[in-house]
């Protein structure tokens, strides 16, 4: 169970009109779970696409007014119980000294990836309040604009996932070069991930101070690791981050595909996100009854008819249970999902009443 937090004044319920997310994280009794969707502020929304056509990606990320507008869109349009700040996990490698390009339709590109000791010398541990001030400015503005309607979520990429991009230099389905880097140059890999970890801790604490009520750590590619390799290259850094950040605000850890590590992640005291590849009962047995779980609706199911979405969403809640649970997708919402179907999912959760 996530402890009650009042270090910064953000993660309290008194100033929120809708604090279901925080209640779920604290393990309080609820009649239905809170609901939000990963990647909810983005490319499935026509209103977002208008801004995408006008401004390039990093302009959207680095302009607090645009970030605020984009972050609030799913709250206004779809009715989710939490807002997640519009940003990208690759702003951290960017702040650490790597060039990051984002081409529409092509994904991220890092033209000068890390391959050697000499390459690592180009990496710096930044002053996050300086290099990433635009994220903090956006959080503060968005928190003020939300005016307590729903909690605000901040986020960062986990060290192994960021290493994947920093070494591979681009997106990949296998990240074979990044994994080989870990296996053939483990000391260098650990050095890089420790630098990422130190930066991420400061970054997430700064997000909390700037207005984030909760933060989520995304290990999007840790599922490429075996259980033993996850324990070597991912878990130690997740543990460090959760331990350092949790006194400031609640933490959710989402390590996609790493179902075998649910017990270890739950032991950190964080809430744990799960995808659709593990049965809810198994996830609960691994996590324990006092850990808040989040997930695990397959985004592809949002293409179903709204009536069927409702049935599937209610089955999901029945399987996880209302308490210690946050309804969400098992990964980010995809661009092809009709807005009405996304709203049907959210409405289905809101209509659920504990029996």
Q: What residues act catalytically?
A: 39, 43, 52, 88, 165
Q: Which residues in 247-285 are b (16+ Cβ under 10 Å) and which e?
A: ebbbbbbbbbbbbbbbebbbbbbbbbbbbbebebeebbe
Q: Is 94 annotated among the ligand-binding residues?
A: no
β-strand partners of 154: 215
SS3 label, residue 71: helix
Nearest-CA neighbor of 152 among 50, 232, 51, 80?
80
Nearest-CA neighbor of 24 among 351, 272, 262, 286?
272
Q: Is 86 annotated among the ligand-binding residues?
A: no
Phi-psi region of 269 (alpha: psi -120 to 50; beta: other; left: phi over 0): left
β-strand partners of 156: 217
d(Cα 137, Cα 131) in Å, to the nearest integer?
12
Q: Is 218 annotated among the ligand-binding residues?
A: no
Q: Is 41 annotated among the ligand-binding residues?
A: yes
SS3 label, residue 322: coil
Q: Is 58 annotated among the ligand-binding residues?
A: yes
Q: Are 93 and 178 in contact (CB under 8 A)?
A: no
Q: Is 341 annotated among the ligand-binding residues?
A: no
Q: Is 266 annotated among the ligand-binding residues?
A: no
Q: Is 134 annotated among the ligand-binding residues?
A: no
β-strand partners of 101: 109
d(Cα 262, Cα 267) in Å, to the nearest integer?
8
Q: Is 39 annotated among the ligand-binding residues?
A: yes
Q: Is 73 annotated among the ligand-binding residues?
A: no
Q: Are 191 and 119 in contact (CB under 8 A)?
A: no
User: Residues at the annotated binding site?
Assistant: 39-43, 58, 88, 165, 220, 331
User: Residues at the annotated binding site for substrate?
Assistant: 39-43, 58, 88, 165, 220, 331
């Amino acid at each position: 169970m996530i402890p009650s937090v009042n270090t910064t004044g953000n993660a309290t319920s008194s100033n929120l009109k809708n604090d279901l997310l925080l209640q779920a994280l604290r393990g309080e009794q609820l009649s239905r779970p809170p609901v939000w969707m990963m990647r909810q502020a983005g490319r499935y929304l026509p209103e977002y696409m208008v801004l995408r056509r006008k401004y390039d990606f990093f302009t959207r990320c680095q302009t607090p007014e645009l970030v605020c507008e984009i972050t609030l869109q799913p709250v206004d349009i779809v009715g989710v119980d939490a807002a997640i700040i519009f940003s990208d996990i690759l702003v951290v490698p960017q702040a650490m000294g790597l060039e990051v390009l984002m081409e529409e339709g092509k994904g991220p590109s890092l033209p000068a990836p890390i391959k050697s000791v000499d390459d690592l010398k180009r990496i710096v541990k930044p002053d996050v309040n300086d290099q990433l001030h635009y994220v903090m400015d956006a959080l503060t503005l968005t928190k003020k604009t939300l005016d307590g309607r729903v909690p605000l979520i901040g986020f960062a990429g986990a060290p192994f996932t960021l290493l994947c991009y920093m070494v591979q230099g681009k997106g990949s389905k296998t990240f074979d070069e990044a994994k080989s880097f870990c296996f053939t140059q483990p000391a260098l890999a650990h050095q890089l991930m420790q630098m990422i970890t130190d930066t991420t801790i400061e970054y997430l604490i700064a997000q909390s101070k700037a207005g984030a009520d909760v933060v989520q750590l995304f290990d999007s590619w840790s599922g490429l690791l075996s259980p033993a390799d996850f324990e070597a290259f991912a878990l130690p850094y997740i543990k460090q981050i959760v331990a350092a950040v949790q006194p400031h605000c609640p933490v959710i850890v989402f390590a996609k595909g790493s179902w075998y590590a649910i017990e270890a992640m739950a032991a950190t005291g964080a809430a744990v996100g799960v995808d659709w590849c593990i049965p809810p009962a198994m996830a609960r047995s691994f996590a324990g009854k006092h850990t808040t779980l989040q997930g695990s609706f397959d985004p592809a199911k949002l293409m179903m008819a709204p009536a069927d979405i409702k049935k599937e969403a209610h089955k999901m809640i029945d399987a996880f249970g209302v308490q210690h649970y946050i309804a969400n997708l098992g990964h980010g919402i995809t661009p092809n999902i009709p807005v009405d179907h996304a709203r049907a999912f959210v409405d289905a959760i809101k209509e659920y009443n504990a029996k």
